């Protein structure tokens, strides 16, 4: 991936949009969430020739067709606002005191020209992969306070706990890019780090109630630990995820077991059977103990469960699992049912 800083005028963006060479909402972008006040304030910034932050594109160059498509990686809200005003669909308010009540067509010719010739700083990510795009987003999100709990943690912490989780998230990008355990859009908001944090927690403290507050507490509780503390956890995490992808990836990619809640339940079951998960509330008075994994028996059971869920079947064999999947998947009661079902399905000697 190469990144090229350049400047373009607003008239360039309008032209690309008309020619359908500008993609404002790729998978890794949020929807249109800016308030009208924020939009007007941006237009006022432009009309007063004040600077605005850089826009990041993924520029897809097709040498064969000699065409270029620009996907907005960061700056969608700004570009939407600019194009909305240019099309005459936005009327300025008191947030733009010099031009209050005006649309684009109401501006003086000089102001229209100022608007169209305004230079926007741009960084182009030439033919970048999804993994490259996520890496850029993660780095951008490191420099300021963010909205989601995962982003706040990423901005707040600089200790080894953060970097252990972050590095594992990057390393296992196939889980987000190919298998969709977390969507690209949610990965942009660093929600994939929450899933990886739970993978560490399962190996470190067990499989219990979940949620962002629990993850916050884990970061706090492990803030003083050094890199050496997380290294064996990471080694075990890598083995478990490798097993899941090797044994199930080709046949189960589109099933419930590659949705985050049941992926974590499956991960926890494997960790338990390998003897790598500490005693916790899901294993309290549990009659199956760590032992070898029977992948042949396990894949058959997992296939049945996945089909039942897909068909919304009332099959009683896995009714509790299906019911737990449909309920609050972060609660211990739901996790216990799904975990125990999966342990029984995978355990070599379990019936």
Tell me the domain boundaries of the chain.
2-128, 131-346
Nearest to 349, CA basis, from 280, 263, 287: 287
pLDDT at 142: 66
pLDDT at 144: 52
**Cα–Cα distances in Å, from 72 out to 86, 185, 234, 289?**
18, 13, 34, 50
Furthest C-alpha separation in the chain: 81
Sheet of 119-126: strands edge to edge? 2-9, 119-126, 55-62, 67-74, 22-23
**How far does Cα 234 stand from its chain's mean position?**
20
Is 279 strand, coil or helix? coil
pTM for this prediction: 0.65
Is 295 strand, coil or helix? helix
Contact 320, 337 (CB under 8 A): yes
Query: What is d(CA 302, CA 311) in angstroms, rounded to the nearest whole number?
Result: 14
One pLDDT digit (tens) per residue for the chain, 351 residues? 567 788 999 999 999 999 999 988 765 555 556 778 789 989 999 999 999 988 988 888 888 888 889 988 888 889 999 999 999 999 998 778 899 999 999 999 999 999 999 999 999 888 888 888 877 777 766 665 446 889 888 878 878 899 899 989 989 999 999 999 999 888 988 999 999 999 999 999 999 988 899 999 999 999 999 989 999 999 999 999 999 999 999 899 999 999 999 999 999 999 999 999 999 999 998 989 999 999 999 999 999 999 998 887 766 788 889 888 887 778 899 999 999 999 999 998 765
Instruction: Enter the DSSP assignment of 277.
Output: S
Is 307 strand, coil or helix? helix
Query: What is d(CA 339, CA 207) in angstroms, rounded to the nearest whole number?
Result: 9
């Amino acid at each position: 991936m190469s990144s090229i800083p350049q400047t373009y005028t607003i008239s360039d963006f309008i032209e690309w949009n008309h020619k359908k060479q500008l993609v404002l909402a790729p998978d890794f972008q949020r929807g249109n969430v800016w308030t009208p006040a924020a939009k007007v304030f941006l237009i006022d910034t432009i009309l007063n020739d004040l600077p605005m932050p850089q826009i990041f594109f993924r520029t897809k160059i097709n040498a064969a067709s000699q065409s270029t498509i620009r996907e907005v990686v960061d700056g969608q809200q700004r570009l939407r606002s600019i194009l909305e005003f240019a099309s005459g669909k936005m009327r300025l308010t008191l947030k733009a005191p010099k031009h209050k009540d005006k649309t684009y067509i109401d501006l003086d010719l000089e102001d229209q020209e100022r608007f169209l010739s305004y230079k926007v700083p741009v960084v182009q990510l030439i033919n970048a992969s999804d993994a490259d795009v996520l890496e850029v987003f993660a780095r951008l999100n490191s420099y300021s306070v963010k909205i989601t709990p995962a982003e706040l943690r990423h901005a707040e912490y600089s200790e080894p706990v953060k970097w252990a989780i972050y590095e594992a998230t990057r390393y296992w990008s196939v889980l987000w890019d190919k298998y969709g355990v977390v969507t690209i859009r949610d990965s942009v908001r660093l929600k994939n780090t929450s899933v990886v944090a739970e993978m560490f927690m399962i190996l470190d403290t067990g499989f219990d109630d979940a949620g962002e507050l629990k993850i916050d507490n884990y970061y706090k509780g492990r803030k003083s630990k050094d890199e050496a503390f997380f290294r064996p956890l990471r080694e075990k995490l890598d083995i478990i995820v490798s097993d899941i992808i090797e044994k199930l990836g080709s046949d189960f990619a589109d099933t419930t077991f590659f949705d985050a809640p049941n992926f974590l339940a499956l991960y926890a079951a494997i960790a338990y059977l390998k003897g790598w998960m500490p005693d916790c509330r899901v294993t309290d008075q549990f009659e199956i103990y760590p032992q070898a994994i029977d992948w042949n028996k396990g894949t058959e059971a997992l296939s049945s469960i996945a089909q039942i869920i897909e068909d919304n079947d009332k099959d009683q064999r896995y009714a509790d699992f299906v019911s737990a999947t449909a309920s609050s998947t972060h609660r211990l009661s739901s996790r216990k049912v799904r975990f125990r079902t999966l342990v029984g399905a995978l355990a070599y000697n379990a019936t």
